[in-house]
Structure 1
Amino acid sequence: MGKDDLDGFNLEQSHGKERVRVARVWRTKEGFSLLVEWKVAIALFSDCLPAYVNGDNSDIVATDTMKNTVYVKAKECAEQLSAENFAIILAHHFTSYYKQVTAAVVKIVEKPWERVHVINKPHDHGFKLGSERHTTEATVKKSGSIKLVSGIKRLSVLKTTMSGFEGFIRDEYTALPDTRERMLATEVTASWSYSYETLSSIPTDQLYFNERYLEVKGVLMETFFGPPKGGVYSPSVQSTLYHMARAVLNRFPDISAVKLKMPNIHFLPVNISSKENPSIVKFADDVYLPTDEPHGSIEASLSRFWSRM
């Protein structure tokens, strides 16, 4: 069937399965357990126009089949691998196994299970839940071309000093005073695009992207905080965001673009006063009211000129 069967309309469509949760455990010969937990979302782009126009489902890959494929492919992975590699395996399967499927998008969010240490030693099979999430999205076409994006969510960071905000536009609606001393807190959401364009160009090391994820997270935090002694001054969230993104691109040549979202989560200095006694208690930047509603919202993307983000 073609466009003529749509009576002059244009149809863009995909179908898939979301929130497929899978946990995979690998056990070493020494009895050491390795664990991942992934939440998988799949979207297939396929030539299945008859299903929409005529109610003919003969070209449809059932979403229940997609769910089962996640479990089967997880079982087939005999060795530990990154979320990126698992997303690529799934996307490549759907585009190569089904002739109707022209492209597949697989998104994965990894739950941050961390190994427990008991009496300062790593436990063989004990884990605790961390905070930030490792994310990835792999888009694979039947031709073998790929677009790979990784990221991090819920990376909460805070520094108690070495932050300010001054020199901004002042008008009749402005109440915020200039300051060179404030708390800076945010929950970083970051994504970065890799420059790999074909399946054959992907690194063969199945844990390569896990290592890169930890390295990128380290650079983001290093740039946000600065050196352990003294830190680094932040004149604005915008400035800090830019230098974080720039540091990632400067450090990793296989990353072509970085996108950061960093809400300004406010810690407001508390001062208690009344009409009768305007200075009952005066706090000196040591007691704060934490609040995230409302909060500032700052986001930006930084890319190399040849990036396709």
Structure 2
Amino acid sequence: MAKEVVEGFNFQQRHGKERVRVARVWKDKKSGRYFVVEWRVSVSLLSHCINSYIRDDNSDIVATDTMKNTVYAKAKECSKVLSVENFAIELAKHFTSFYKQVTTAIVNIVEKPWERINVDGRPHEHGFKLGSEKHTTEAIVKKSGELWLTSGIEGLSLLKTTKDEEDSSVLFFIVLYLHGWYSYESVGSVPQKPLYFTEKYLDVKKVLVDTFFGPPNVGVYSPSVQSTLYQMAKATLNRVPDISSVQLKMPNIHFLPANISSKEGQIVKV
């Protein structure tokens, strides 16, 4: 946060706008195929705006409606499909460059997983369904161009029915949350490919899934939830070198066996 001394007190503040819902649709001119994203955008600004607190002067405050409308305007300006990370960076750059009083912009976005559907074995040109896990990002951009960029997955549900040390009759069901910190130190060092981070997100998700399940014919042994979590984190860092560190949260959702007697007196497990 912005830190200043005001009337002998250490003063910190940030102001912003949360939960701006954006849907953006693109149409490829050559193929005629549509592409769609849905983003929930939150913006926080660190600014020199002491007067709004001690002199009742809000002229240095960027209004929340202005933030909301800026999100819409910048989304419209994106003429080609781009990753949620790139949009967060562009939005944060705008606030730090357009407003002289803004020292740092923090843009947090959650992308809903709208997935193209298949009909008769073929991808539909304009049909989509809502998936489960969400793609998240946070871009923190300073006026100097310094960048802190994270990307994540929320609510990736995975389940396997064997290879679990705890009990072979208990389903191994997890809901995964991952936050990864990219190693770029400035806006200028970010790769200039609109879908670069989308590709990295898919790479990370594939690594997590492959590590959890193992080969399709034999699977992989899991001695504990902690061991599986560690292996997934290590595989992510080894196979996606752009990411400098990861944080994983992996609640184990238990399905416990229950004995139910049938009419014949036999025991049935469910």
3-state SS, counterpart of residue 117 of structure 2:
strand
Q: Deviations over 1:233-252 (max 9, x none)?
A: 11111000000000000011
Cα separation, partners in 2 of 1:163 and 1:77, compared to 1, 3 Å? same
Cα separation, partners in 2 of 1:267 and 1:90, compared to 1, 3 Å? same
Equivalent residue for 1:231, pick from 213, 219, 222:
219
Q: Deviations over 1:193-250 (max 9, x none)?
A: 1000011100000100000000100000000111101101111110000000000000
Q: What residue number does 1:119 align with?
A: 120
3-state SS, counterpart of residue 11 of structure 2:
coil
Give the count of matched residue pairs.
265
* Counterpart-to-counterpart distance in 1, 2:55 and 2:266: 75
* Counterpart-to-counterpart distance in 2, 1:67 and 1:192: 27
Correspondences of 1:90-239 after superposition (within 5 Å): 90-165=91-166, 179=167, 181-239=169-227
| Greater percentage in strand | 2
The structure that has the greater radius of gyration is: 1
Deviation at 1:7, TM superposition (A): 3.0
* Counterpart-to-counterpart distance in 1, 2:260 and 2:69: 60
Farther-moved stretch of structure 1 (52-61 vs 237-246): 52-61
Tell whether the 8 Å contact from 1:185 to 1:266 is kept in structure 2 after alignment: yes
* Counterpart-to-counterpart distance in 2, 1:119 and 1:183: 33
Deviation at 1:282, TM superposition (A): 3.2
- Matched letter for residue 239 of structure 2: R
Pairing 1:282–2:267 present: yes
Structure 2: stretches of 5+ with no match in the other structure = none
Tell whether the 8 Å contact from 1:164 to 1:181 is kept in structure 2 after alignment: no
* Counterpart-to-counterpart distance in 2, 1:108 and 1:12: 24
Q: What residue number does 2:10 align with?
A: 10
CA RMSD between the two structures? 1.6
* Counterpart-to-counterpart distance in 2, 1:7 and 1:148: 35
Deviation at 1:256, TM superposition (A): 0.4
Pairing 1:263–2:248 present: no
- Matched letter for residue 213 of structure 1: Y
Q: What residue number does 2:52 align with?
A: 51
* Counterpart-to-counterpart distance in 1, 2:165 and 2:253: 14
Q: Deviations over 1:69-90 (max 9, x none)?
A: 0111011111110000000000
Q: Deviations over 1:88-146 (max 9, x none)?
A: 00000000110100001001111111111111111111111111100000000001010
Tell whether the 8 Å contact from 1:33 to 1:125 is kept in structure 2 after alignment: yes
Structure 1: stretches of 5+ with no match in the other structure = 166-178, 274-279, 288-309
* Counterpart-to-counterpart distance in 2, 1:48 and 1:281: 74
TM-score, structure 1 as length reference: 0.83
- Matched letter for residue 25 of structure 1: V
Cα separation, partners in 2 of 1:142 and 1:266, compared to 1, 3 Å? same
* Counterpart-to-counterpart distance in 2, 1:130 and 1:180: 29
Q: What residue number does 2:22 align with?
A: 22
Deviation at 1:180, TM superposition (A): 5.4
Tell whether the 8 Å contact from 1:51 to 1:58 is kept in structure 2 after alignment: yes
- Matched letter for residue 8 of structure 2: G
* Counterpart-to-counterpart distance in 1, 2:186 and 2:55: 36
3-state SS, counterpart of residue 247 of structure 2:
strand
* Counterpart-to-counterpart distance in 2, 1:155 and 1:252: 18
